Amino acid sequence: MRDDALVRFTDHQLPREELHTLMERSDGPALLRTVWHLGVLALTGALLWRLRATLWVLPLLLAHGYVLAFIFCAFHETAHRTAFRTRWLNAVVGTLAGFLTFWPYRNYRVYHWEHHRHTQDPSLDPELFFAKPASLPAYLFVLTGIPNAIRRIGDMLRLAGGRADRPWMAPAERRPLIVEARAYLAGYAVVAAASVHSHHAHAGAGAPVRVEHAVSLREPRLPGGALPRAAPAPRAGAEPDRARGARLRGGHRQGESPSLRPGAWHSSAPGLTIPARIHLPR
């Protein structure tokens, strides 16, 4: 594209009336867009979690990442306080967007304001502070998002450690930026702890009950070491008293499977004691 063609392509003049119309702020449409965007993000995230063990994970990762990347649009507009008419709504949605993208809201506002004040000034523009990729492999590595993630997490850790010494961080902003970074890290820690607790609770709820049997082949003895007397032979057609009593107490006839109760001890044959213990998941 020639230089004059580039000028014609980018040179659009809007009438002042149209410009004022485009700059008019309101809360209703912005709230609707916020609910829609966060709803799609929650939907793709839920599907990604439910189908994480299937091949659907690949297209869902792309869809979820695409929706998450565009959270930055809300982040940028709320930083300019142009997304909502109500100022505190800009701060709330901007803080949430910053939490999702690992960039504290106030930190970005300070950074971005200095960028607009000193655009393309190599010594003062914060966007020119960090070195740009100088080769194709370095550029492709930047596209993976890994350097950006390292920088954002590193900046938060740096601020949380009390170092607010970047050139664009004015002395009056340093303490609030440190407090904000610590609050964000505390929020991430709470989310991580809740996730781990939920995972263990879910895993425990589905754990099978384990039953252990310890078999003793020793003859049963009465207190004092005496051997018990053998039971008299039952009358024909009559249920032995001892067997009937055992059935009433133990809830089963001889030869039936005994009922299992935590800590219960059962005998299934003379001279054979089988203590059964039930281990319930914790």
Residue-level pLDDT at 198 = 87
Residue-level pLDDT at 139 = 95
Q: Which long-range contacts (CB under 8 A, 24 or more apart) does 119-124 make?
A: 124/167, 124/168
Residue-level pLDDT at 267 = 44
Residue-level pLDDT at 228 = 59
CA pair distance 253, 249, nearest whole angstrom: 10
In three-state secondary structure terms, 268 is strand
Residue 200, token pair as written in the block: 């263990």
Residue-level pLDDT at 44 = 97
* Beta pairing partners, 266: 274
Residue-level pLDDT at 14 = 77
Low-confidence ranges of the chain (pLDDT < 50): 1, 246, 248, 250-252, 254, 256-274, 276, 278
Residue-level pLDDT at 274 = 47
Residue with tokens 């599907």, as numbered in its chain:
47
Residue-level pLDDT at 16 = 80
Residue-level pLDDT at 27 = 95
